[in-house]
Amino acid sequence: MNIFTRRDFLQQGVQAGAGLALGGALLNCAAAETLQDELPLCTKPLEKVRIGFVGVGHMGTVHVHNLLQIEGVELRAVCDIVPEKVTRAQKLAEKAGQPKPKAFTRGPEDYKRLCQEEDLDLVYTATPWELHVPVCLAAMNNGKHAATEVPAAVTLEGCWKLVETAEKTKKHCVMLENCCYDRVELMILNMVRKGVLGTVFYGECGYLHDLRYQVKHSDRGEGLWRPQHSIRRNGNLYPTHGLGPVAQCMNVNRGDQFDFLVSMSSMSICMNEYAKRLPPGHQYANQKFAQGDVNDSLIRTKNGCLILVGHDTSTPRPYSRRIEVQGTKGLVRKYPDPLVWIEGRSKNHNQYDPIEPYLKEYEHPLWKGIQEKIGESGRGHGNMDYIENYRLIRALLTGTAPDMDVYDAAAWSAVSELSERSVAHRSRSVDFPDFTRGRWKTRKPLGIVTA
Protein backbone atom coordinates (compact mmCIF):
# COMPACT_ATOMS: atom_id res chain seq x y z
CA MET A 1 0.00 0.00 0.00
CA ASN A 2 1.48 3.37 -0.94
CA ILE A 3 1.29 6.35 1.36
CA PHE A 4 -1.92 7.71 -0.16
CA THR A 5 -3.86 4.43 -0.33
CA ARG A 6 -2.83 3.67 3.23
CA ARG A 7 -4.02 7.08 4.41
CA ASP A 8 -7.26 6.93 2.40
CA PHE A 9 -7.97 3.48 3.77
CA LEU A 10 -7.59 4.79 7.31
CA GLN A 11 -9.53 7.94 6.49
CA GLN A 12 -12.38 5.96 4.97
CA GLY A 13 -12.59 3.89 8.11
CA VAL A 14 -12.66 6.93 10.36
CA GLN A 15 -15.15 8.80 8.21
CA ALA A 16 -17.45 5.87 7.71
CA GLY A 17 -17.42 5.34 11.47
CA ALA A 18 -18.27 8.97 12.08
CA GLY A 19 -20.95 8.93 9.41
CA LEU A 20 -19.19 11.63 7.36
CA ALA A 21 -19.09 11.98 3.59
CA LEU A 22 -15.88 11.18 1.75
CA GLY A 23 -13.99 13.72 -0.38
CA GLY A 24 -15.30 14.45 -3.85
CA ALA A 25 -12.57 12.63 -5.73
CA LEU A 26 -13.39 9.40 -3.94
CA LEU A 27 -17.09 9.82 -4.58
CA ASN A 28 -16.39 10.42 -8.25
CA CYS A 29 -14.47 7.24 -8.46
CA ALA A 30 -17.01 5.06 -6.76
CA ALA A 31 -19.47 6.24 -9.39
CA ALA A 32 -17.02 5.74 -12.20
CA GLU A 33 -16.31 2.12 -11.33
CA THR A 34 -19.84 1.26 -12.35
CA LEU A 35 -19.40 3.03 -15.68
CA GLN A 36 -16.60 0.66 -16.70
CA ASP A 37 -15.33 2.24 -19.86
CA GLU A 38 -16.26 5.85 -19.33
CA LEU A 39 -14.44 8.79 -17.85
CA PRO A 40 -13.88 9.89 -15.11
CA LEU A 41 -11.50 7.06 -15.11
CA CYS A 42 -10.38 5.23 -12.03
CA THR A 43 -7.09 3.56 -12.75
CA LYS A 44 -5.26 0.89 -10.83
CA PRO A 45 -3.57 2.50 -7.80
CA LEU A 46 0.15 2.86 -8.49
CA GLU A 47 2.87 2.03 -5.95
CA LYS A 48 4.86 4.97 -7.28
CA VAL A 49 4.52 7.41 -10.15
CA ARG A 50 7.40 7.19 -12.62
CA ILE A 51 7.50 10.46 -14.54
CA GLY A 52 9.01 11.57 -17.83
CA PHE A 53 9.11 15.36 -18.03
CA VAL A 54 9.09 17.23 -21.34
CA GLY A 55 10.06 20.92 -21.36
CA VAL A 56 12.03 22.06 -18.33
CA GLY A 57 12.12 25.81 -18.85
CA HIS A 58 10.63 28.20 -16.32
CA MET A 59 7.41 26.39 -15.38
CA GLY A 60 8.77 22.90 -16.02
CA THR A 61 11.53 23.49 -13.49
CA VAL A 62 9.00 24.72 -10.90
CA HIS A 63 7.03 21.50 -11.43
CA VAL A 64 10.09 19.27 -11.25
CA HIS A 65 11.12 20.95 -8.00
CA ASN A 66 7.63 20.41 -6.52
CA LEU A 67 7.15 16.86 -7.81
CA LEU A 68 10.46 15.78 -6.28
CA GLN A 69 9.10 16.76 -2.86
CA ILE A 70 6.02 14.55 -3.14
CA GLU A 71 6.29 11.08 -1.72
CA GLY A 72 5.87 8.34 -4.32
CA VAL A 73 7.29 10.30 -7.26
CA GLU A 74 10.27 9.14 -9.31
CA LEU A 75 11.63 11.39 -12.03
CA ARG A 76 12.86 8.83 -14.56
CA ALA A 77 13.43 10.85 -17.75
CA VAL A 78 13.75 14.49 -18.80
CA CYS A 79 13.46 15.94 -22.30
CA ASP A 80 14.21 19.41 -23.62
CA ILE A 81 15.73 20.80 -26.79
CA VAL A 82 18.24 22.67 -24.58
CA PRO A 83 20.61 20.10 -23.00
CA GLU A 84 21.67 22.47 -20.16
CA LYS A 85 18.07 22.62 -18.94
CA VAL A 86 17.92 18.83 -18.82
CA THR A 87 21.17 18.79 -16.86
CA ARG A 88 19.65 21.27 -14.38
CA ALA A 89 16.62 18.98 -13.87
CA GLN A 90 18.86 15.93 -13.50
CA LYS A 91 20.78 17.72 -10.77
CA LEU A 92 17.54 18.58 -8.96
CA ALA A 93 16.59 14.88 -8.99
CA GLU A 94 19.99 13.80 -7.68
CA LYS A 95 19.86 16.48 -4.98
CA ALA A 96 16.52 15.01 -3.92
CA GLY A 97 18.21 11.62 -3.51
CA GLN A 98 16.94 10.05 -6.72
CA PRO A 99 18.97 8.30 -9.44
CA LYS A 100 19.93 10.53 -12.38
CA PRO A 101 16.97 10.65 -14.80
CA LYS A 102 17.69 9.67 -18.39
CA ALA A 103 18.23 12.62 -20.76
CA PHE A 104 16.37 13.09 -24.04
CA THR A 105 18.00 15.93 -25.95
CA ARG A 106 18.06 14.76 -29.56
CA GLY A 107 15.90 17.54 -30.92
CA PRO A 108 12.27 18.73 -31.09
CA GLU A 109 10.76 15.25 -31.56
CA ASP A 110 12.79 13.40 -28.97
CA TYR A 111 9.76 13.43 -26.64
CA LYS A 112 8.37 10.66 -28.89
CA ARG A 113 11.36 8.43 -28.09
CA LEU A 114 10.84 9.17 -24.38
CA CYS A 115 7.20 8.07 -24.67
CA GLN A 116 8.04 4.97 -26.72
CA GLU A 117 11.11 3.64 -24.94
CA GLU A 118 10.78 4.51 -21.27
CA ASP A 119 8.84 2.56 -18.69
CA LEU A 120 6.79 5.43 -17.25
CA ASP A 121 3.41 6.03 -15.63
CA LEU A 122 3.06 9.71 -16.46
CA VAL A 123 4.41 12.05 -19.12
CA TYR A 124 4.19 15.67 -18.06
CA THR A 125 4.68 18.59 -20.40
CA ALA A 126 5.46 22.27 -19.81
CA THR A 127 6.44 23.10 -23.37
CA PRO A 128 5.19 25.91 -25.66
CA TRP A 129 1.41 25.73 -26.22
CA GLU A 130 1.46 24.12 -29.67
CA LEU A 131 3.38 21.11 -28.32
CA HIS A 132 0.95 20.18 -25.56
CA VAL A 133 -1.33 18.09 -27.79
CA PRO A 134 1.45 16.19 -29.64
CA VAL A 135 3.22 15.33 -26.36
CA CYS A 136 -0.01 14.22 -24.61
CA LEU A 137 -1.02 12.09 -27.61
CA ALA A 138 2.41 10.44 -27.76
CA ALA A 139 2.15 9.72 -24.02
CA MET A 140 -1.35 8.20 -24.08
CA ASN A 141 -0.77 6.25 -27.29
CA ASN A 142 2.24 4.66 -25.59
CA GLY A 143 0.30 3.65 -22.49
CA LYS A 144 1.18 6.58 -20.22
CA HIS A 145 -1.04 9.09 -18.46
CA ALA A 146 -0.57 12.66 -19.65
CA ALA A 147 -0.41 15.94 -17.76
CA THR A 148 -0.02 19.30 -19.41
CA GLU A 149 0.47 22.93 -18.62
CA VAL A 150 -2.20 25.40 -19.76
CA PRO A 151 -3.84 25.71 -22.21
CA ALA A 152 -4.09 22.03 -23.11
CA ALA A 153 -4.74 22.89 -26.77
CA VAL A 154 -4.98 25.99 -28.95
CA THR A 155 -7.44 24.54 -31.48
CA LEU A 156 -10.75 22.70 -31.29
CA GLU A 157 -9.20 19.89 -33.30
CA GLY A 158 -6.52 19.56 -30.63
CA CYS A 159 -9.18 19.49 -27.88
CA TRP A 160 -11.05 16.70 -29.64
CA LYS A 161 -7.86 14.69 -30.20
CA LEU A 162 -7.12 14.79 -26.47
CA VAL A 163 -10.64 13.65 -25.57
CA GLU A 164 -10.77 10.88 -28.16
CA THR A 165 -7.31 9.57 -27.30
CA ALA A 166 -7.99 9.60 -23.55
CA GLU A 167 -11.22 7.66 -24.12
CA LYS A 168 -9.59 5.21 -26.55
CA THR A 169 -6.49 4.50 -24.44
CA LYS A 170 -8.27 4.85 -21.06
CA LYS A 171 -5.52 7.11 -19.83
CA HIS A 172 -5.86 10.32 -17.87
CA CYS A 173 -5.13 13.56 -19.67
CA VAL A 174 -5.02 16.25 -17.02
CA MET A 175 -4.51 19.93 -17.65
CA LEU A 176 -2.87 21.35 -14.56
CA GLU A 177 -4.75 24.58 -13.86
CA ASN A 178 -2.92 25.80 -10.78
CA CYS A 179 -5.29 28.75 -10.20
CA CYS A 180 -8.05 26.31 -9.19
CA TYR A 181 -5.93 25.73 -6.08
CA ASP A 182 -5.31 29.31 -5.04
CA ARG A 183 -6.48 30.15 -1.54
CA VAL A 184 -9.39 32.50 -2.31
CA GLU A 185 -10.60 30.47 -5.31
CA LEU A 186 -10.69 27.38 -3.09
CA MET A 187 -12.54 29.31 -0.39
CA ILE A 188 -15.12 30.45 -2.95
CA LEU A 189 -15.61 26.85 -4.13
CA ASN A 190 -16.08 25.76 -0.53
CA MET A 191 -18.66 28.53 0.03
CA VAL A 192 -20.48 27.48 -3.15
CA ARG A 193 -20.52 23.83 -2.07
CA LYS A 194 -21.91 24.87 1.33
CA GLY A 195 -24.66 26.94 -0.29
CA VAL A 196 -23.48 30.27 1.18
CA LEU A 197 -23.80 32.04 -2.20
CA GLY A 198 -27.08 30.34 -3.06
CA THR A 199 -27.51 29.26 -6.67
CA VAL A 200 -24.56 30.51 -8.70
CA PHE A 201 -25.56 32.20 -11.95
CA TYR A 202 -22.83 34.74 -12.80
CA GLY A 203 -19.04 34.79 -12.92
CA GLU A 204 -16.25 37.09 -14.01
CA CYS A 205 -12.69 36.06 -14.59
CA GLY A 206 -9.74 36.58 -16.85
CA TYR A 207 -6.03 36.86 -17.33
CA LEU A 208 -4.86 40.45 -17.13
CA HIS A 209 -1.09 40.45 -16.97
CA ASP A 210 1.32 42.86 -18.62
CA LEU A 211 3.53 40.52 -20.65
CA ARG A 212 4.98 43.10 -23.02
CA TYR A 213 8.47 42.48 -21.62
CA GLN A 214 8.45 39.06 -23.31
CA VAL A 215 8.90 40.76 -26.64
CA LYS A 216 11.95 42.59 -25.30
CA HIS A 217 13.46 39.33 -24.10
CA SER A 218 12.67 37.51 -27.30
CA ASP A 219 15.86 35.49 -27.15
CA ARG A 220 14.92 33.55 -24.02
CA GLY A 221 12.12 31.77 -22.13
CA GLU A 222 8.57 32.45 -23.26
CA GLY A 223 9.88 35.32 -25.38
CA LEU A 224 11.09 32.67 -27.82
CA TRP A 225 7.60 31.46 -28.72
CA ARG A 226 4.69 33.23 -26.99
CA PRO A 227 4.77 36.57 -28.92
CA GLN A 228 4.20 34.62 -32.13
CA HIS A 229 0.67 33.83 -30.98
CA SER A 230 -0.14 37.55 -30.49
CA ILE A 231 1.33 38.38 -33.89
CA ARG A 232 -0.94 35.94 -35.71
CA ARG A 233 -4.02 35.52 -33.53
CA ASN A 234 -6.77 37.71 -32.05
CA GLY A 235 -9.03 36.37 -29.31
CA ASN A 236 -8.81 35.10 -25.74
CA LEU A 237 -5.53 33.20 -26.06
CA TYR A 238 -5.06 32.26 -22.40
CA PRO A 239 -8.47 31.63 -20.84
CA THR A 240 -8.02 28.90 -18.27
CA HIS A 241 -6.45 30.65 -15.23
CA GLY A 242 -9.65 32.58 -14.49
CA LEU A 243 -12.16 30.31 -16.15
CA GLY A 244 -11.12 27.04 -14.46
CA PRO A 245 -12.10 28.05 -10.91
CA VAL A 246 -15.35 29.70 -12.06
CA ALA A 247 -16.27 26.65 -14.17
CA GLN A 248 -15.75 24.44 -11.13
CA CYS A 249 -18.11 26.65 -9.07
CA MET A 250 -20.71 26.26 -11.84
CA ASN A 251 -20.24 22.48 -12.21
CA VAL A 252 -19.32 22.76 -15.88
CA ASN A 253 -19.04 19.21 -17.33
CA ARG A 254 -20.67 17.94 -14.15
CA GLY A 255 -24.28 19.09 -14.27
CA ASP A 256 -23.87 22.11 -16.54
CA GLN A 257 -22.08 22.76 -19.80
CA PHE A 258 -20.69 25.71 -21.77
CA ASP A 259 -23.30 26.39 -24.46
CA PHE A 260 -22.14 29.32 -26.62
CA LEU A 261 -19.78 32.27 -26.62
CA VAL A 262 -19.51 35.76 -28.07
CA SER A 263 -16.18 37.56 -28.13
CA MET A 264 -14.94 41.05 -28.97
CA SER A 265 -11.45 42.54 -29.09
CA SER A 266 -10.42 46.17 -28.81
CA MET A 267 -7.99 47.73 -31.24
CA SER A 268 -4.42 46.56 -31.07
CA ILE A 269 -2.34 49.54 -30.01
CA CYS A 270 -0.34 48.96 -26.82
CA MET A 271 1.86 46.09 -28.05
CA ASN A 272 2.42 47.84 -31.36
CA GLU A 273 3.46 51.04 -29.53
CA TYR A 274 5.75 49.03 -27.27
CA ALA A 275 7.41 47.32 -30.22
CA LYS A 276 8.36 50.74 -31.59
CA ARG A 277 10.39 51.36 -28.42
CA LEU A 278 12.66 48.39 -29.08
CA PRO A 279 16.14 49.15 -30.39
CA PRO A 280 16.47 49.33 -34.18
CA GLY A 281 17.28 45.95 -35.64
CA HIS A 282 15.44 44.11 -32.83
CA GLN A 283 13.39 41.24 -34.20
CA TYR A 284 10.13 42.83 -33.02
CA ALA A 285 10.90 46.51 -33.70
CA ASN A 286 8.02 47.73 -35.90
CA GLN A 287 6.30 44.36 -35.58
CA LYS A 288 2.53 44.47 -36.12
CA PHE A 289 0.48 42.44 -33.61
CA ALA A 290 -2.96 41.09 -34.52
CA GLN A 291 -4.08 40.55 -30.92
CA GLY A 292 -6.46 43.24 -29.66
CA ASP A 293 -5.18 44.71 -26.40
CA VAL A 294 -8.35 43.82 -24.49
CA ASN A 295 -10.53 40.86 -25.38
CA ASP A 296 -13.78 40.16 -23.55
CA SER A 297 -15.67 36.95 -24.17
CA LEU A 298 -19.11 36.12 -22.78
CA ILE A 299 -20.05 32.51 -22.21
CA ARG A 300 -23.59 31.29 -21.56
CA THR A 301 -24.04 27.84 -20.06
CA LYS A 302 -26.82 25.36 -20.81
CA ASN A 303 -28.37 26.02 -17.38
CA GLY A 304 -28.29 29.79 -17.93
CA CYS A 305 -25.14 30.95 -16.12
CA LEU A 306 -23.25 33.88 -17.63
CA ILE A 307 -19.44 34.20 -17.49
CA LEU A 308 -17.31 37.15 -18.58
CA VAL A 309 -13.76 36.07 -19.47
CA GLY A 310 -11.17 38.76 -20.06
CA HIS A 311 -7.77 38.67 -21.72
CA ASP A 312 -5.31 41.55 -21.53
CA THR A 313 -1.59 40.82 -21.74
CA SER A 314 -0.20 43.82 -23.55
CA THR A 315 -1.25 46.92 -21.61
CA PRO A 316 0.43 48.74 -18.71
CA ARG A 317 -1.66 47.57 -15.74
CA PRO A 318 -1.43 45.54 -12.49
CA TYR A 319 -1.99 41.79 -12.52
CA SER A 320 -5.54 40.47 -12.10
CA ARG A 321 -7.58 37.35 -12.70
CA ARG A 322 -10.75 39.42 -12.11
CA ILE A 323 -12.46 36.66 -10.17
CA GLU A 324 -16.10 37.19 -9.19
CA VAL A 325 -18.66 34.52 -8.40
CA GLN A 326 -22.24 35.61 -7.79
CA GLY A 327 -25.21 33.62 -6.59
CA THR A 328 -28.74 34.25 -5.41
CA LYS A 329 -27.51 35.07 -1.87
CA GLY A 330 -24.44 37.20 -2.56
CA LEU A 331 -21.03 37.33 -4.16
CA VAL A 332 -17.29 37.03 -3.65
CA ARG A 333 -14.72 38.89 -5.71
CA LYS A 334 -10.95 38.93 -5.81
CA TYR A 335 -8.62 41.59 -7.31
CA PRO A 336 -7.45 44.00 -6.37
CA ASP A 337 -8.53 42.77 -2.91
CA PRO A 338 -10.76 39.82 -2.05
CA LEU A 339 -14.15 40.97 -0.75
CA VAL A 340 -17.50 39.39 0.12
CA TRP A 341 -21.11 40.53 0.26
CA ILE A 342 -23.80 38.20 1.60
CA GLU A 343 -27.46 39.18 1.97
CA GLY A 344 -28.57 39.13 5.61
CA ARG A 345 -24.98 39.07 6.88
CA SER A 346 -23.23 42.05 5.31
CA LYS A 347 -24.24 45.14 7.29
CA ASN A 348 -23.82 47.88 4.71
CA HIS A 349 -25.77 47.64 1.47
CA ASN A 350 -23.12 49.62 -0.42
CA GLN A 351 -19.98 48.15 1.06
CA TYR A 352 -18.29 44.78 0.80
CA ASP A 353 -17.10 42.86 3.87
CA PRO A 354 -13.38 42.14 4.24
CA ILE A 355 -12.36 38.58 3.45
CA GLU A 356 -10.76 37.64 6.80
CA PRO A 357 -13.83 36.42 8.76
CA TYR A 358 -14.92 34.39 5.72
CA LEU A 359 -11.48 32.83 5.38
CA LYS A 360 -11.70 31.78 9.02
CA GLU A 361 -15.10 30.22 8.47
CA TYR A 362 -14.79 28.84 4.95
CA GLU A 363 -11.08 28.13 4.39
CA HIS A 364 -11.02 25.11 2.08
CA PRO A 365 -9.91 21.92 3.89
CA LEU A 366 -7.50 21.18 1.03
CA TRP A 367 -5.72 24.50 1.50
CA LYS A 368 -5.69 24.06 5.29
CA GLY A 369 -4.36 20.51 5.04
CA ILE A 370 -1.57 21.44 2.65
CA GLN A 371 -0.47 24.41 4.77
CA GLU A 372 -0.22 22.06 7.74
CA LYS A 373 1.92 19.70 5.67
CA ILE A 374 4.31 22.14 4.00
CA GLY A 375 3.85 25.48 5.75
CA GLU A 376 3.56 28.86 4.12
CA SER A 377 6.99 28.49 2.53
CA GLY A 378 5.67 29.15 -0.95
CA ARG A 379 6.36 26.43 -3.50
CA GLY A 380 5.45 28.34 -6.62
CA HIS A 381 2.73 30.98 -6.93
CA GLY A 382 2.03 30.81 -3.16
CA ASN A 383 1.81 27.01 -2.99
CA MET A 384 -0.90 26.47 -5.62
CA ASP A 385 1.69 24.94 -7.98
CA TYR A 386 2.56 22.42 -5.30
CA ILE A 387 -1.09 21.59 -4.56
CA GLU A 388 -1.95 20.89 -8.20
CA ASN A 389 0.87 18.35 -8.42
CA TYR A 390 0.06 16.89 -5.03
CA ARG A 391 -3.55 16.28 -6.10
CA LEU A 392 -2.51 14.73 -9.42
CA ILE A 393 -0.04 12.34 -7.79
CA ARG A 394 -2.59 11.49 -5.11
CA ALA A 395 -5.14 10.55 -7.78
CA LEU A 396 -2.64 8.23 -9.49
CA LEU A 397 -1.46 6.61 -6.26
CA THR A 398 -4.99 6.03 -5.00
CA GLY A 399 -6.52 5.13 -8.37
CA THR A 400 -9.12 7.87 -7.97
CA ALA A 401 -10.32 10.39 -10.54
CA PRO A 402 -8.27 13.57 -10.81
CA ASP A 403 -9.97 16.86 -9.88
CA MET A 404 -9.66 18.03 -13.49
CA ASP A 405 -10.06 15.60 -16.35
CA VAL A 406 -9.74 15.63 -20.12
CA TYR A 407 -13.24 17.11 -20.56
CA ASP A 408 -12.25 20.10 -18.41
CA ALA A 409 -9.00 20.44 -20.35
CA ALA A 410 -10.94 20.51 -23.62
CA ALA A 411 -13.84 22.75 -22.59
CA TRP A 412 -11.71 25.37 -20.82
CA SER A 413 -9.09 25.44 -23.61
CA ALA A 414 -11.70 25.56 -26.39
CA VAL A 415 -12.29 29.24 -25.57
CA SER A 416 -9.06 30.03 -27.48
CA GLU A 417 -10.27 29.05 -30.94
CA LEU A 418 -13.94 29.83 -30.30
CA SER A 419 -13.11 33.41 -29.29
CA GLU A 420 -10.87 33.83 -32.34
CA ARG A 421 -13.72 32.64 -34.56
CA SER A 422 -16.21 35.00 -32.92
CA VAL A 423 -13.86 38.00 -33.12
CA ALA A 424 -13.18 37.29 -36.78
CA HIS A 425 -16.93 37.37 -37.53
CA ARG A 426 -18.06 40.59 -35.83
CA SER A 427 -18.63 38.82 -32.49
CA ARG A 428 -21.04 36.28 -33.91
CA SER A 429 -22.01 33.65 -31.33
CA VAL A 430 -20.27 30.29 -31.62
CA ASP A 431 -21.35 27.02 -30.05
CA PHE A 432 -19.13 24.98 -27.75
CA PRO A 433 -18.69 21.36 -28.77
CA ASP A 434 -20.03 18.94 -26.17
CA PHE A 435 -16.81 17.08 -25.44
CA THR A 436 -18.62 14.87 -22.92
CA ARG A 437 -21.17 13.81 -25.57
CA GLY A 438 -24.09 14.34 -23.22
CA ARG A 439 -22.51 12.85 -20.12
CA TRP A 440 -22.31 16.29 -18.43
CA LYS A 441 -25.98 15.78 -17.54
CA THR A 442 -25.30 12.82 -15.26
CA ARG A 443 -21.73 13.38 -14.06
CA LYS A 444 -21.58 14.30 -10.39
CA PRO A 445 -20.13 17.67 -9.24
CA LEU A 446 -16.73 17.69 -7.58
CA GLY A 447 -17.09 17.39 -3.85
CA ILE A 448 -15.02 19.09 -1.18
CA VAL A 449 -11.68 17.40 -1.62
CA THR A 450 -9.04 17.19 1.09
CA ALA A 451 -5.28 16.94 1.34
Chain residues in the site for ligand NAD (CB under 6 A): 54-60, 79-82, 85, 108, 111, 126-129, 131, 149-150, 178, 221-222, 224, 381
Written as one letter, the residue type at 231 is: I
b/e sequence 139-160, b meaning 16+ C-beta within 10 Å: bbbbebbbbbbbbbbbebebbb
In the complex, the smallest distance separating the C-beta of residue 128 from ligand NAD, rounded to whole angstroms, is 5
Of the pair 217, 441, the CB lying nearest ligand NAD is at 217
Q: Name the nearest CA neighbour of 226 among 247, 240, 236, 212.
A: 212
In the complex, the smallest distance separating the C-beta of residue 380 from ligand NAD, rounded to whole angstroms, is 8
**Structural contact between residues 430 and 412, judged by C-beta atoms closer than 8 angstroms:** no
Pairing relationship of beta strands 339-342 and 353-354 according to DSSP bridges: antiparallel
The DSSP symbol for 252 reads B
Question: Which residue of this chain has its Cβ atom nearest to ligand NAD in the complex?
Answer: 57
Sort 73 into a burial class: Cβ within 10 Å, 0-12 / 13-18 / 19+: buried
**Structural contact between residues 324 and 203, judged by C-beta atoms closer than 8 angstroms:** yes
Q: Name the nearest CA neighbour of 404 among 230, 202, 218, 189.
A: 189
Of the pair 42, 152, the CB lying nearest ligand NAD is at 152
Of the pair 129, 341, the CB lying nearest ligand NAD is at 129
In the complex, the smallest distance separating the C-beta of residue 238 from ligand NAD, rounded to whole angstroms, is 7
Of the pair 224, 298, the CB lying nearest ligand NAD is at 224
Of the pair 39, 406, the CB lying nearest ligand NAD is at 406
**Structural contact between residues 332 and 191, judged by C-beta atoms closer than 8 angstroms:** yes
Of the pair 207, 440, the CB lying nearest ligand NAD is at 207
In the complex, the smallest distance separating the C-beta of residue 131 from ligand NAD, rounded to whole angstroms, is 6
In the complex, the smallest distance separating the C-beta of residue 58 from ligand NAD, rounded to whole angstroms, is 4
In the complex, the smallest distance separating the C-beta of residue 243 from ligand NAD, rounded to whole angstroms, is 13
| Total Cβ atoms within 10 A of residue 422 | 25
Of the pair 178, 398, the CB lying nearest ligand NAD is at 178
| Total Cβ atoms within 10 A of residue 100 | 12
In the complex, the smallest distance separating the C-beta of residue 302 from ligand NAD, rounded to whole angstroms, is 28
Give the Å distances, CA to CA, from 413 to 151, 165, 171: 5, 16, 19
Of the pair 85, 144, the CB lying nearest ligand NAD is at 85
Q: Name the nearest CA neighbour of 416 among 181, 209, 158.
A: 158
In the complex, the smallest distance separating the C-beta of residue 229 from ligand NAD, rounded to whole angstroms, is 10
- 44 strand-pairing partners: none
